[in-house]
Amino acid sequence: MGRSPCCEKAHTNKGAWTKEEDQRLIAYIKAHGEGCWRSLPKAAGLLRCGKSCRLRWINYLRPDLKRGNFTEEEDELIIKLHELLGNKWSLIAGRLPGRTDNEIKNYWNTHIKRKLLARGMDPHTHRPLNAIAGALNLSISLAPYQPGDDPAVKQEAAT
DNA sequence: AATGCCTTCAACCGCTTCACC
DNA sequence: AGGTGAAGCGGTTGAAGGCAT
């Protein structure tokens, strides 16, 4: 037996939220505030699980969200905070008013990672890429990958 | 105009943490 | 102290739109 599901999946909607669902959720939270997410969907008349409602509210519907493009200052702040905190997106989001952890995580993976790589920085360690390669004494081969190169494959072939 | 590839981001999944009993 | 349920979190997925061919 695995863990019990967070909700009765047979009776819940999945996928993109409709405008009507959004309106119901907003209206309910405006009237009652953020309370017990598990019981919220039923109380609000939504065929969604509590988790889904919470995520939708936090990442998209909250009135204090900024949304829209990140500024250069925000970029730099995210990079600095990531260097200090690592992938603690909720902590990073806490330092950026109006931004959510999900938004920052997505932005990191789509924009900032690339930005750092373009600067020759490793997005995980925030150190210069060539320094890391040197420290690990790596020799990077540009030859196309061959399945036989995989140690696991080699070992399997040997057995 | 049609097709395929790439990028973006909303949403889901599963694990961890926390609070309560 | 241990069990249980709810909330929170981070990783991953997949649909949609944009762009190149």
* pLDDT tens sequence across A89-122: 988 988 888 899 899 999 998 889 888 888 888 8
A21 CB inside 7 Å of strand B = no
As a rounded value in angstroms, the CA-to-C1' distance for A142 and C3 is: 54
User: Which domain does A82 fall in, by range?
Assistant: 72-135
Q: Within a domain: residue A151?
A: no
Q: Within a domain: residue A18?
A: yes
For residue A72, give every residue at least 6 positions away whose Cβ sits within 8 Å of its Cβ, in sequence order, or none: none
Instruction: Please tell me the pTM assigned to this model.
Output: 0.79
On whether both A76 and A128 belong to a single domain, the answer is yes
Q: Within a domain: residue A155?
A: no
On whether both A50 and A20 belong to a single domain, the answer is yes
On whether both A57 and A81 belong to a single domain, the answer is no
- CATH no. for residue A85? 1.10.10.60
If one compares A2 and A125, the residue with the highest pLDDT of the two is A125
For residue A15, give every residue at least 6 positions away whose Cβ sits within 8 Å of its Cβ, in sequence order, or none: none
Chain C positions within 7 A of any protein Cβ atom are 5-12, 15-16
Chain B positions within 7 A of any protein Cβ atom are 7-15
> What pLDDT does residue A148 have?
43
State the total domains in chain A: 2
